Amino acid sequence: MNRSKQLTDGALLSAIYIVLLIISIFTPFIFIIFLFLLPIPFIFYAVKHGIKASLLMIVVTLLISLMIIPIVSIPLTVLAAAGGTMIGIAINQKRNVYEVWARGTIGFILGIIFIFVFTQFILQVNITNEIDLAIDESMETTEYILTQFTVGTDISEQLDVMREQINMVKYLIPASIAILSIFLAFVSQWLSFKLLNRIERTHLFFPPFKNLNVPFIVIWIYLVAMLLSLVDISPESTLYLVVVNTYVLTAFLIIIQGFSFIFFYADYKKLHKSIPIAIVVLSLIIPNIFLVLIRIIGIIDIGFSLKKRILHSSNKK
């Protein structure tokens, strides 16, 4: 009976996945939405039937994907299967919500790495070279525009600074992959919780964002990376890549903690919900000012357990 249930669920969820895959490929204007939906069939199946049965579903969906548009469907299937299955297995094993999120993030990182390898060796497209070409074209366009509007001014120094800043895109690929995977895992997990609660009558949910607490070790990693970033390290060295990407990734986590504190404090003071949301929006519009302040708040909150101190002092009163 259990075997029959596995086959029935596998066939149904595989069919749902293929439909979602076809829609995502042939309707590019809603591709981003479906990118978050594609892992859900794998999550559902892994939650119900565990890892061994999930591996069989992955193989089946990959074989069917070969019949659609392999150069697109295979990378997407690997990405969705890796992230979705990792999330589903963690839920099946009754891991806490943050561990589920972490495992899902690892799954999506593996999926994105596969896409890079697939693009490099199967499609014969070197992503780094493509980025270099895009940067060169962008700089040529920028140089042309500046020469038209800044007559009699030496723009070479400005262009050198701009090129150096734009070139950072290449060095930040690992951090970008990690941040994208964190976001993909969060949204896919959140959607799957909503659907599982409705369909399977489970009680899965994320704790309120205001209660989020990034591990204290992140502060130390951030400080070490920041100090090393002040050292003159060759951009071509592996150490430079590690330092820069570690710094960006830990800074991102600290900023998330800062936003969490903003929501916590707004709730603590009974402020309207629109206020913390407005702060988030302003931070995205004017990052040079607001994100620095949010990062400082995040550091203080992690380093000094600011939320706990506020609650403790409130309880004393």
| pLDDT tens by residue, 297-306 | 999 999 998 9
Gap between the Cα atoms of 245 and 297, Å rounded? 21
Structure tokens at 81: 């299967």
Shared-domain flag, residues 160 and 303 = no
Residue 316 identity: K
Q: Is residue 137 part of a domain?
A: no
Shared-domain flag, residues 166 and 217 = no
**Residue 4 pLDDT:** 85
Shared-domain flag, residues 221 and 202 = no
Do 191 and 36 meet the contact criterion of CB atoms below 8 Å apart?
yes
DSSP annotation of 202: -
Residues 265-277 pLDDT 10s: 999 999 998 999 9
Shared-domain flag, residues 193 and 215 = no
| Residue 297 CB partners (closer than 8 Å, separation 6+) | 258, 261, 262
Q: Residue 44: which of 97, 80, 4 has the closest Cα?
A: 80
Shared-domain flag, residues 125 and 215 = no
Shared-domain flag, residues 25 and 122 = yes
Q: Is residue 115 part of a domain?
A: yes
**Residue 114 pLDDT:** 95
Residues 86-131 pLDDT 10s: 999 999 999 999 999 999 999 999 999 999 999 988 888 887 787 7
Where among 159, 183, 206 does a domain terminate?
206
Shared-domain flag, residues 53 and 161 = yes
Shared-domain flag, residues 126 and 255 = no
Q: Residue 264: which of 303, 309, 222 has the closest Cα?
A: 309
Where among 206, 229, 258 does a domain terminate?
206
φ, ψ of residue 207 to 5 degrees: the values are -60, 155
Q: Is residue 7 part of a domain?
A: yes
Domain range for 30: 1-130+145-206
Shared-domain flag, residues 232 and 298 = yes
Higher pLDDT, 20 or 158: 20
Task: Report angle CA 147, 153, 157 to the nearest 5 degrees.
Answer: 85
Q: Is residue 138 part of a domain?
A: no
Gap between the Cα atoms of 68 and 144, Å rounded? 43
Q: Label residue 154 by pLDDT band (50, 70, 90).
A: low
Q: Is residue 53 part of a domain?
A: yes
Whole-prediction pTM: 0.89
Shared-domain flag, residues 26 and 155 = yes
| Residue 86 CB partners (closer than 8 Å, separation 6+) | 103, 104, 106, 107
Shared-domain flag, residues 110 and 8 = yes
Shared-domain flag, residues 118 and 168 = yes
Number of compact structural domains in the chain: 2
Where among 157, 190, 206 does a domain terminate?
206
Q: Is residue 135 part of a domain?
A: no
DSSP per-residue codes, 72-140: HHHHHHHHHHHHHHHHHHHHHTT--HHHHHHHHHHHHHHHHHHHHHIIIIIS---HHHHHHHHHHHHHH
Residues 37-91 pLDDT 10s: 999 999 999 999 999 999 999 999 999 999 988 899 999 999 999 999 999 999 9
